Amino acid sequence: MNRILVIGAKGMLGKDLIPELQSSFPDGEVLGWDIDEIDIRKERETIREIVRARPSIVINVAGYTDVDGCESNEREAFAANADGMKHIALGASQCRAKAVYLSTDYVFDGKKGIPYLEDDPPNPLSVYGHSKWKGEQYTLQLAENGLIIRTQWLYGLHGKNFVMAILRQAKEREVLSIVNDQIGSPTYTVDLSRAIALLIRKKARGIYHVTNRDFCSWYEFGQAILNLSEIKHVQVLPITSKELNRKAVRPSYSVLNTDKFKQEVGIELRTWSEALKDFLSHIQRTEALV
Ligand SMILES: NC(=O)c1ccc[n+]([C@@H]2O[C@H](COP(=O)([O-])OP(=O)(O)OC[C@H]3O[C@@H](n4cnc5c(N)ncnc54)[C@H](OP(=O)(O)O)[C@@H]3O)[C@@H](O)[C@H]2O)c1
């Protein structure tokens, strides 16, 4: 019987992942921990609690995910994103559990120009990207059957994200400026959760890229959010990353090639625009109930 421990259970992805695992593994047991139950920066505590819980699989969706915040808190970023994964991998290997690490397109520099493959060499541009790459290395070195799932541009019902930010800003402003020189694949946390469950069922190990299909710029994504929500009074202006001037440098083109995932599980995720439509109608239904 699978006993799956999710660490980061109260985060945006964690909250969609738990119910997906419960329905994908009805005979298994799913445990959800977050910072109140375990602080993954603490080595002894993390190893001790994992060993005590005796999971067969540990999925790490916790971390310091404020990409700009990481630039001014480098030590904190590495403690949570890299050392945290090291401690989880050590705990998991002591009870012979599989360890799964969620990673990011920000391990790449965005200069390749065509979708990144799993074995393309990382070259992160930001502290966040560096700390996640280090976490990947610990997963491969220390975990038994370690699995790394790189994804990008996540949105879902349960956390701060671009879609919710655009919808909120559209209520307050008539003009929105959105960057048009970063290209990626927006990914719905519900779809990603299903993909994680499929990879676990297949006993996949090593690195996999998983995103919704097709790609766009943040500007195009923003326009799609407004169009699909039938918000017509807001004008969207394309700007450059230089104009936005955020602390962390992001890759300009970090589309991930997902063929390996497709070959492993036999399906690919739907397009980002289909997923977005579904997400927006889910929000509308939820709001209608309130
Ligand atoms: N969001 C994206 O666009 C994106 C893209 C690519 C990859 N990822 C990766 O996907 C994973 C999930 O992302 P997400 O957006 O769902 O993250 P999230 O919403 O920020 O959730 C992370 C969770 O981890 C908890 N946490 C933080 N530090 C911790 C610690 N030391 N010990 C235990 N728990 C801790 C957080 O608690 P607090 O809220 O109290 O801090 C939060 O509940 C992360 O590994 C992230 O790097 C995300």
Tell me the per-residue pLDDT of 174-210, one tens digit each, with 9 for 90 and over.
999 999 999 999 999 999 999 999 999 999 999 999 9
pLDDT attached to residue 284 = 86
102 lines ligand 1 (CB under 6 A): yes
32 lines ligand 1 (CB under 6 A): no
Distance CA 111, CA 113 (A): 6
254 lines ligand 1 (CB under 6 A): no
Taking only the tens place, the pLDDT of each residue in 207-253 is 999 999 999 999 999 999 999 999 999 999 999 999 999 999 999 99
Q: What percent of the chain lies above the pLDDT cut of 70?
A: 99
| pLDDT classification of 46: cutoffs 50, 70, 90 | very high
Q: Tell whether the model's pLDDT for residue 290 goes beyond 60.
A: no
Taking residues 38-66, what's their average pLDDT?
98
| pLDDT classification of 287: cutoffs 50, 70, 90 | confident
Residues contacting residue 209 through CB under 8 Å, at least 6 positions apart = 116, 117, 118, 149, 150, 151, 256, 257, 258, 260, 261
Indicate which residue's Cα is closest to atom 21 of ligand 1.
Answer: 11
| pLDDT classification of 289: cutoffs 50, 70, 90 | low
Atom of ligand 1 nearest to the CA of 66: 20
Q: What percent of the chain lies above the pLDDT cut of 90?
A: 96
pLDDT attached to residue 167 = 96
pLDDT attached to residue 144 = 83
Indicate which residue's Cα is closest to atom 33 of ligand 1.
Answer: 35
pLDDT attached to residue 1 = 78
* Residue 128, amino acid: Y
253 is catalytic: no
Indicate which residue's Cα is closest to atom 28 of ligand 1.
Answer: 63
pLDDT attached to residue 100 = 98
Taking residues 25-39, what's their average pLDDT?
97
Taking only the tens place, the pLDDT of each residue in 88-124 is 999 999 999 999 999 999 999 999 999 999 999 999 9
Structure tokens at 209: 């890229």
34 lines ligand 1 (CB under 6 A): yes
pLDDT attached to residue 285 = 84
User: Ligand 1 center to residue 34 CA distance, Å?
Assistant: 10
Distance CA 272, CA 278 (A): 10
Distance CA 130, CA 101 (A): 15
Tell me the domain boundaries of the chain.
Answer: 3-159+185-214+254-270
164 lines ligand 1 (CB under 6 A): no
From 101, 128, 155, 253, active-site residue: 128
Atom of ligand 1 nearest to the CA of 60: 45
Indicate which residue's Cα is closest to atom 2 of ligand 1.
Answer: 154
Atom of ligand 1 nearest to the CA of 9: 43
Contact 125, 247 (CB under 8 A): no
Please give the CATH number for the structural domain made up of 3-159+185-214+254-270.
Answer: 3.40.50.720
pLDDT attached to residue 6 = 98
156 lines ligand 1 (CB under 6 A): no
pTM, two decimals, is: 0.98
